[in-house]
Amino acid sequence: MRKFVWKHASAVAIIAALACSSAAQAATQGSLGSTSTGTVGISATIPARVQLTGLADFAFGTIEPGASASTSKNVCVWSNTSTKGYNITATGDGASNAFTLSNGSTTLAYGVEWAGSASQASGTALTTNTAGTGFTSTAVNPTCSSAPSTTASLIVKFTTAQTLAAVGSATAYTGTLTLVVAPE
C-alpha cells in the first residue's frame, strides 16, 4: 500500500509541475522602498463556441398529392471563431436518421436545406448525419438580441415526387428534425 501511495504522490507532483510550467509569466515580488512594484502573469482561455436560437416548428397543413411545398424559417447562429464560421448537421427521426415523417403506418420523405443568410427560399441541400460546412455568422451575440436578429435560413421542402409517393390519410405525418451546429 505504501508503494502505491508513493507512486501516486510522484505522479501528482509531476502533473502539478507541468501545469505550473505553462504559465505565461512568473510573478515578481516588490522590494521594500518608498514604492514597491510587483508583476503577475495573467492567462485566460476562451474556447470556440456556437449557439443556435430562434427555431420554430414547421406546420405545412394539407399538401395535395403531386404538389411541391417549401417553407423557410429565419434562425440565429452565433460563432466566436476568428472567421465566425460554423457547420451544421441535420438528422431526421426516420429509419437510419432519414428525413421522413410518419403517420404511424407509412412515411413521407422531405428535404432539408440551409442558407447562411436570413430570408432565403433555397440553400445548400443537407444530407442526414453529414455536416454542411463553410457557413459564417453575422451575429454579434449568442441569441441575436441585437441586430441582426437572424443570420440564417432553415428550409424544409416536399417535392412533387415525395407527395405523390405518400399514402393519403386523415392522420397527419409528423416527425422531428435535429440540428447540431459546431464551430468551424
Q: Domain containing 72 — which CATH number? A: 2.60.40
Look at residue 162 and tell me if it is in a domain. yes
For residue 5, pLDDT beyond 90? no
**pTM > 0.75:** yes
Domain extent, residue 92, equals 50-57+65-183
For 152, the grid coordinates are 440564417
Number of domains in the chain: 1
Look at residue 39 and tell me if it is in a domain. no
Q: 4: part of which helix (H) or strand (E)? A: helix 2-21
**E strands of the chain, at which residues?**
50-53, 69-79, 85-92, 100-102, 107-109, 111-115, 124-125, 132-136, 152-158, 177-183
pLDDT at 16: 40
For residue 184, pLDDT beyond 50? yes
pLDDT at 25: 72
Look at residue 4 and tell me if it is in a domain. no
